Chains A and B, each alone.
Chain A
Amino acid sequence: MKSLIRASIGILLVCGILMYTSHAMDATSGKSGKDILTIYNWGEYIDPALIKKFEKQTGINVIYETFDSNEAMMTKIEQGGTNYDIAVPSEYTVEQMRERHLLKKIDHKQIPNLKYIEPDFLHLAFDKKNQYSIPYFWGTVGVVYNKKLLKDKKFDSWDDLWDPSLKGKVILVDSAREVIGVGLNSIGQSLNTTDSTVLQKATNKLIRMAPNVKAVIGDEVTQLMINGDAEVALTWSGQAADMMSENEDLTYSVPKEGSNLWFDNMVIPKTSKNIEGAHKFINFMLDPKVAAQNSEYVGYTTPNKAALKLMDPEIVNDTRYYVSKDVREKLEVYKNLGKEKIGEYNELFLRFKMSIR
């Protein structure tokens, strides 16, 4: 009996300590007030010098936290207990967060620098009036390949990935929409296709690519490409830029049939305690000089038209990233297709993966 009491007290004590710790941790993570701004961004996605500059300019202290997936970020905000003032979701997540009422409206009057953003990148389907989101970086999906390992190979067309000489050499990203998207693009269909027969057709075409597929993996691809362990991979332009900065033999191409256009956007989560500061920060990041510096540091493509003029022309004229106008017209932003369709995409993707043997 005595030991039982002792055990119960022990358990209660541990619970108490855990509760206290979690309380203390809540208090530090996302603590916010008038002169504190909590930013929740992807890892290595801002020039740290700019945060210092912002702090100096406004006297606001910045707390900077990072996440590595849209889903994780959204879950954390949805669960509450955080006070993030700025978050940077991708476009389809903006739509989901809006639907779940996790976002605050952005007051455009407080963001005069919005005028510097390229008009093509505003008023897109995921947030028609930019009421909730302001573009931060944009990019494409394309093919990164090793010029040295694949002599004379070009990836101007998606069909080049079906080339028999690439047997067991193609790495795909483990993401249903991107891979099914390759199938859809290659048969000239929209990336937002909802017609099941068309999706089936795209999958059947993909299955014919199966002998060429070396692996379907995630971020590990970066290291494999840099080490020259892999010849060609489907990837996002930003990830391609990371790889190319480490290995000069790599290059990136967006096939002519079109591809995905993606955006990461600044939003103000519902949990924000410093809305004024958040607006100040968004406006600050849209300043052409700041945007130019940030883009050159991070290596991603900026939607800020005025910033382009201040940047190294070699970067701005690199059509692999800043794709020409007629290619850009063929790029498509993902629409939120609803859970059923996403489920269907994933089912088809699973079937495709099972065919790689």
Chain B
Amino acid sequence: MRRKGNLLSLIPYYIWILFFVIAPILLIVYYSLLDLHGHFTINNYRNFLTSVYLKMTLSSFWYAFLITLFSLIISYPAAYLITKLKYKQLWLILIIIPSWINLLLKTYAFIGIFGNKGPINAFVKAIGLPNQQILFTDFAFVFVSVYIFIPFMILPIFNALDKLNPALIDASRDLGASKITTFRRVIIPLTMNGVKAGVQAVFIPALSLFMITRLIAGNRVITLGTAIEEQFLTTQNWGMGSTISVFLILFMFIIMLLTGERKKGVARNGKAK
């Protein structure tokens, strides 16, 4: 009886998955096989495999890679530092709070900060350098994206580091390992799952960023997300938009497989969102 009850209670979950995960994916695949007039075609896929979209895919991956890399470089030491602090939960909250603010608002704020008359250029001028064009550069794009994604990277890494048993580090030191060796051979392997979860939480959304590409990079950076938005909203070619989405979903699955944990049962703690 108990077992049955458990199965029954899973029904809402399965219904949810069916309607909000499986059905939309099937719909996207279906639409990707339609042309403008609703006839079946594989031309959308052929179109995707042309140089324009392949180039776009490459550049999307490149920027997503950069964003993930810089997020990781900043987040790992930051998370490590926070675990050593006295009020670590408070510090963590301070890092997480900005992620509650709407992404668009934060992006708009950066338009002002990076502008020719913004605080950064005011500082640049004060130290006697000529005005710098910051907005609409690769730097601005990566900077803002990293800023936005950092909480999603810090959280899982923090959790992994926080769970790390300090006795293991002591043991390593007692057995004569240097600080660097301890870090390399003990801390990193034990927090790898946190890093993987963080990479997933950053790399995948970074692949499909779209508003920031226009607002901060002025469309000088074109990602797959931008292309999907345009196909749906301006061209109204749902078929092509869906085709790009199919590839995006495929890429996401591949990344999940690559960064996924081998062993099941290890808590996938703090996977943001």
Q: List the interface of chain A (C-beta within 8 A of B).
A: 1, 3-4, 7, 11, 71, 168, 171, 174-176, 213-218, 220, 223-224, 227-229, 339-340, 342-343, 346-347, 350-351, 353-354, 356-357
Contact = CB atoms under 8 A, between A and B. Distances in A.
Interface in B33-85: 36, 52, 55-56
Contacts, number: 79
A227 B116 contact: yes
A344 to B, nearest CB: 9
A350 B214 contact: no
Contact of B115 (A216, A229, A357): A229
A214 to B, nearest CB: 6
Interface in B226-270: 227, 230-231, 233-237, 240
B190 to A, nearest CB: 37
A214 B115 CA distance: 13
Nearest 3 A/B pairs, CB to CB: A215-B218, A216-B219, A346-B235
Given A71-B233, A175-B234, A216-B219, A228 B111 contact: no
Nearest to B233: A71
B13 to A, nearest CB: 11
Interface stretch (B4-12, B22-30, B152-160, B162-170): B4-12
A236 to B, nearest CB: 16
A4 B15 CA distance: 14
B236 A214 contact: no
Contacts of B231: 346
B184 interface: no
10 contacts: A168-B133, A217-B214, A217-B215, A220-B215, A339-B235, A346-B230, A351-B52, A354-B222, A356-B220, A357-B220
A213 B12 CA distance: 52
A229 B9 contact: no
Contacts of A351: 52
B236 A174 contact: no
Contacts of B237: 339, 343, 346
Given A217-B219, A354-B52, 17 more contacts: A1-B8, A168-B133, A174-B214, A174-B219, A175-B234, A176-B234, A213-B220, A215-B217, A215-B220, A216-B218, A216-B220, A217-B214, A217-B218, A228-B117, A343-B237, A350-B230, A354-B55
Range for the number of chain B residues in contact with chain A: 20 to 34
A227 B230 CA distance: 28
Nearest to B234: A346
Interface of B: 5, 8-9, 12, 36, 52, 55-56, 111, 115-117, 133, 135-136, 214-215, 217-220, 222, 227, 230-231, 233-237, 240
A354 B57 CA distance: 12
B125 to A, nearest CB: 14
Contacts of B55: 354
Contacts of B234: 175-176, 346
A343 B235 contact: yes
Nearest to A1: B5
Contacts of B222: 350, 353-354
Nearest to A349: B230
Contacts of A218: 214
A215 B36 contact: no
A351 B52 CA distance: 7
A220 B218 CA distance: 10
Of the listed residues A213, A214, A354, the one surrounded by the most CB atoms of chain B closer than 10 A to its CB is A354
Contacts of A350: 52, 222, 227, 230
A343 B168 CA distance: 61
